[in-house]
């Protein structure tokens, strides 16, 4: 893996990924804002950090379910509204007001739920594992994100971090 980090004497890589580097002396991280431009690594001595904390975050996308429910809702509403608008015929009128109301609630419930799931799919992040590396004496943490929940790279990062911390 290529990076623009210069190591000191007797410093060696323990863990290396696109967002974080762990050596036997320092921790380097690219903060999320720097992803658009050049790779600018923030660094801190490994002795100034404490134990990394992995956290699963994000949601599984329910985009296909949202699309299906929205289409069912539009279809049910169209079955009731289009004949009435074009031919002035109420196809559900023979069922009575109570069942016509239930039909309307079902169609609107399907449509609203589908739109909610679609909006949620676009506005929430995908599943990922965030690793917080607290910096001792500061309120700021290094935050690194790996795709998917319980990413195996996270466990390797923590294992190599602990190895580097013990070697100090």
* pLDDT single digits (tens) 112-155: 999 999 999 999 999 999 999 998 888 888 888 899 999 999 99
What residues in the chain have per-residue pLDDT under 50?
34
Domain segments of the chain as ranges: 13-57+129-166, 63-123
The whole-number pLDDT of residue 44 equals: 87
- The secondary element (H helix, E strand) that includes residue 46 is none
The domain 13-57+129-166 is placed in CATH, from the list 2.60.40.650, 2.30.29.30, 1.20.58.220, 1.10.8.60, at 2.30.29.30
Extract the tokens encoding 83: 């004949």
What is the distance, to the nearest Å, from the Cα of residue 70 to the centroid of all Cα atoms in its chain? 23
User: How do strand 141-147 and strand 128-134 relate by DSSP bridges?
Assistant: antiparallel
Extract the tokens encoding 44: 């801190």
The whole-number pLDDT of residue 34 equals: 46
């Amino acid at each position: 893996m290529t990076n623009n980090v210069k190591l000191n004497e007797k410093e060696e890589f323990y863990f290396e990924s696109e967002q974080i580097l762990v050596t036997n002396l320092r921790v380097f991280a690219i903060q999320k804002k720097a992803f658009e431009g050049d790779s600018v690594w923030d660094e801190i001595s490994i002795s100034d950090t404490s134990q990394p904390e992995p956290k699963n975050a994000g949601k599984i996308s329910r985009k296909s379910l949202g699309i299906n429910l929205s289409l069912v809702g539009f279809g049910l509403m169209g079955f009731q509204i289009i004949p009435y608008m074009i031919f002035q015929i109420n196809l559900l009128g023979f069922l009575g007001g109570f069942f016509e109301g239930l039909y309307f609630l079902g169609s609107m419930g399907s449509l609203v739920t589908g739109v909610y799931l679609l909006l949620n799919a676009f506005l929430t992040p995908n599943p990922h594992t965030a690793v917080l590396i607290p910096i001792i004496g500061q309120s700021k943490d290094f935050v690194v994100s790996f795709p998917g929940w319980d990413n195996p790279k996270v466990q390797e990062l923590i294992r190599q971090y602990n190895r580097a911390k013990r070697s100090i």
